Amino acid sequence: MESSEAVVDESARPPAADVDVLIVGAGITGIYQLYRAREAGFTVQLLEAGSGVGGTWFWNRYPGARFDSESYTYAYLFSKELFEEWEWQEHFAEQPEIERYLNHVVDRFDLRRDMRFGSNVTSAVYDEPAAKWTVTVDDGTVFRARYLVAATGVLSVPYFPDVPGRDGFRGEQYHTGRWPAAPVDFAGKRVAVVGTGSSGVQVIPVVAGEAASLTVYQRTANWCTPLNNSPITPDEQARLRANFETMCETLATSFSGFLHVPGDRATFDDSKDERWAFYEKMWNSPGFAKLVSHYTDLLFDPEANAEWCEFLAEKIRSIVEDPGTAEKLIPKDHRYGEHRPPFVTGYFEAFNQPNVSLVATKETPIVRITPTGIETTESLREFDIIVWATGFDFGTGALSRMGIRGRDGLALEDHWADGPSTFLGVQTAGFPNLFFPGGPHAAAGNNPRYNGDQVDFITGVLTYARDHGYDTIEAEPAAQEKWTRLNDKWATRPPNFGTASYYFGSNIPGKPRRYLLNSVGRPKFLEECAAARENDYEAFKLLRSSHPRDRSHGCDGRRG
Ligand code: NAP
């Protein structure tokens, strides 16, 4: 298996350091945390396993990878100058533009000097007497830090299904989540893509246009709808600049961080003709408008959901010429929104090409990978390239593999053996001075908006602790319990959407079934952050290592 790991210039690596804040991960969240922590006056070091910045947007460089939230709403909004000087080319930017943008941000704010690439964290151990973290990377270098911020992302550990023979395949194999830096040449090749989640359905139309043949192995059909991407015209660029503050305000108050106007009518308030006209409008709307601006009962009334699905099934039948293929592409086992809905460009159309075929693996399961191809219960097909678009160990995957040991040597993966428990998705009790913005319970929607809120909150807590002479910050178990219960409860509200998806870890055999996203929404999250700030962060145990007594026992005589 190749990786995106280009050669790292070791001589350019900053040496081991003892810093205030050690950040792991140079994705969108880690970059922002570096900016904010440095701006707040902390000494900072960032460790990144890859050879460049971007995190998820560095590793997922497969052809067709692009945002499905509007580019300008997914980007950083902390600097109006940055917003004004970067002109996104498309409403939904493709991976190369995203990577260029993130590099631009890093250089514009001179962040690269505190970044160390090719540094994969192998252990992170809390040193209780010193109230510091000792972090070791795979070349053996050891770092010390007061605070450890693991901005390691939720989609950073690729998942390969346990199919016999995978390692013995003699052709090329790639996972969408670890795409190589050098372009993969599909021309004249027989290609298989396994998996039809958001990544699979993005890569499939591109490969279909290049390969001699493409066989798509689909286990579960998905409710795909058009992304409806387009270039951003000069007029639109001007409008975006003119409306920066309004856009920020809309995003800050939106439940899930999107610009789309929320729907205001229930399905059966409209006549059938009106409903079909509305569905057509939704079909032609950009990205997540199809969820946010839809009828308000789409996810709550099974009948309403079923009718939208009926409309989508009609659309699929009208696009896909072969009726048998069309039927296979229509989901029969879940409602719209139960799995994360992918947004596509030319996906269903690709199945009309003579070089593209579909294998439904629920009907004819994959039995094994042979040295030359994929064998199902029905046939053996030979391939030059297999693309695994089979997803990730979502939410907790990276955090559970970093060798994190908290108080009394407690292993994070043991602590979360039944699934994650967090306070606001930023901390978990037993792991003082460890924060994980953009991790479990962080987001459910436009991720950078939620994750940016978390970074702002964390920076506030760190600043407060420094300014008041504390050096240990740990979530109070009661506060954590309250947040985790709320998150779990809202996630399973009737009609109980999504329990069969990776939202609950269900895609990984043996993984505990526990909600991994933020079901509570940004407004409530921001409300909780404001409350925490206003009451001097009482949701955290703040201690001084030299006077190891809880401030609630009055050791400091100061409350902020
Ligand atoms: P995913 O949604 O988890 O999809 C994995 C796919 O692999 C599913 O179709 C799954 O089938 C299939 N699969 C897994 N094991 C299999 C097996 N043994 N045999 C056959 N098929 C198997 O992963 P993803 O597509 O990489 O997307 C993950 C998330 O990344 C998305 O939900 C989204 O949040 C994000 N993403 C975003 C964008 C974007 O546009 N911004 C693009 C790509 C990804 P089952 O459904 O049956 O399990």
**What number of residues does the chain have?**
560
Taking alpha carbons only, the member of 299, 238, 214, 271 closest to residue 497 is 299
Given the CA of residue 390, which atom of ligand 1 is nearest to it?
A: 7
Question: How does the average pLDDT of the chain come out, rounded?
Answer: 93
Task: Tell me if 480 is assigned to some domain.
Answer: yes
From 163, 199, 258, mutation site for ligand 1 pocket: most ligand atoms within 8 A of C-beta: 199
What distance in angstroms lies between residue 91's CA and the mean position of ligand 1's atoms?
23
Does 418 share its domain with 341?
A: no
Q: Which residue type is seen at 423?
A: F
Chain segment 287-331, per-residue pLDDT in tens: 999 999 999 999 889 999 999 999 999 999 999 999 999 999 999
The pLDDT-based confidence of 52 (bands split at 50, 70, 90) is very high
Retrieve residue 467's tokens: 């300014």
Q: Are residues 378 and 399 in the same domain?
A: no
Same domain, 347 and 476: no
Q: For residue 291, tell me if it sits in a domain.
A: yes
Is there a domain that residue 315 lies in? yes
According to the model, what pLDDT value does residue 15 have?
63
CA of 462 to the centre of ligand 1 (A): 36
Residue 110 lies in a domain: no
In a domain, 76, yes or no: no
Residue of the CA atom closest to atom 14 of ligand 1: 390
Distance 479 CA to ligand 1 centre (A): 33
Protein residues whose CB sits closer than 6 Å to any atom of ligand 1:
66-68, 155, 161, 176, 194-200, 202, 217, 219-220, 340, 361, 366, 389-392, 502, 507
Q: Report the pLDDT averaged over residues 88-116.
A: 98
Q: How far is CA 534 from CA 336, 349, 442, 482, 528, in A?
A: 40, 54, 21, 18, 10
Confidence of residue 17 (pLDDT cuts 50, 70, 90): confident
Residue 27 in this model has a pLDDT that exceeds 90 = yes
Is the same domain home to 350 and 209?
yes
- Tokens 């996203």 found at: 517
CB distance 222 to 331 below 8 Å: yes
Would you give the DSSP letter of residue 85? H
Predicted confidence at residue 545, as pLDDT, reads 75
On whether both 221 and 361 belong to a single domain, the answer is yes
User: What pLDDT, in 10s, does the model give residues 238-258?
Assistant: 999 999 999 999 998 888 899
Residue 139 and residue 228 in one domain: no
Q: Give the domain-ending residue among 361, 388, 415.
A: 388
Report d(CA 146, CA 21) in Å as an integer.
6
Calpha distance 177→194 (Å, rounded): 13
CB 168 within 8 A of CB 29: no
- The closest of 127, 199, 219, 102 to 405, measured between CA atoms, is 127
Supply the residue whose CA is at minimum distance from atom 46 of ligand 1. 220
Residue with tokens 């030319």: 346
**Phi, psi angles (nearest 5°) of residue 45:** -140, 140
Q: Could you list the beta-strand ranges (E) of 421-545.
A: 434-435, 472-475, 540-543
The pLDDT assigned to 3 comes to 43
Q: Are 232 and 349 contained in the same domain? A: yes
Nearest CA to ligand 1 atom 31: 198
Lowest mean pLDDT among 13-22, 475-484, 522-531: 13-22
Range of the domain at 226: 193-388
- In terms of domains, do 244 and 312 share one? yes
Question: In which band, very low, low, confident or very high, does the pLDDT at 398 lie, cut at 50, 70 and 90?
Answer: very high
Q: What are the start-end ranges of the E strands in 332-419?
A: 343-344, 356-360, 366-369, 373-376, 380-382, 385-388, 404-405
Contact present, 526 and 456 (Cβ < 8 Å): no
Total count of domains within the chain: 2
In a domain, 346, yes or no: yes
328 C-alpha to ligand 1 centroid (Å)? 17
220 shares its domain with 134: no
User: What is the rounded CA–CA span in Å between residue 436 and residue 458?
Assistant: 9
> What local confidence, expressed as pLDDT, does residue 13 receive?
62
pLDDT of residue 363: 96
Check whether residue 324 and residue 434 sit in a common domain: no
385 in Cβ contact with 186 (< 8 Å): yes
Percentage above 90 pLDDT, the chain: 88
Please tell me whether residues 244 and 282 are part of one structural domain. yes
Over residues 371-375, mean pLDDT: 98
Residue 507 lies in a domain: yes
Measured from the CA of 161, which atom of ligand 1 is nearest?
18
Q: Which atom of ligand 1 is nearest to the CA of 502?
A: 3
Q: How far is ligand 1, taken at its centre, from the CA of residue 337, in Å?
A: 14
Q: What is the C-alpha to C-alpha distance for residues 38 and 213, in angstroms, rounded to an integer?
A: 51
Same domain, 197 and 153: no
Give me the pLDDT at residue 493, please: 73
User: What are the pLDDT digits (tens) for 105-134?
Assistant: 999 999 999 999 999 999 999 999 999 999
CATH number at residue 131: 3.50.50.60
Q: How far is the CA of 281 from the centre of ligand 1 (A)?
A: 27
Query: CA 428 to CA 424: how far, in whole Å?
Result: 9
**Cα angle 389-309-302, degrees, rounded to a multiple of 5:** 110
Q: Within the chain, how many helices (H) and strands (E) appear? A: 17, 20
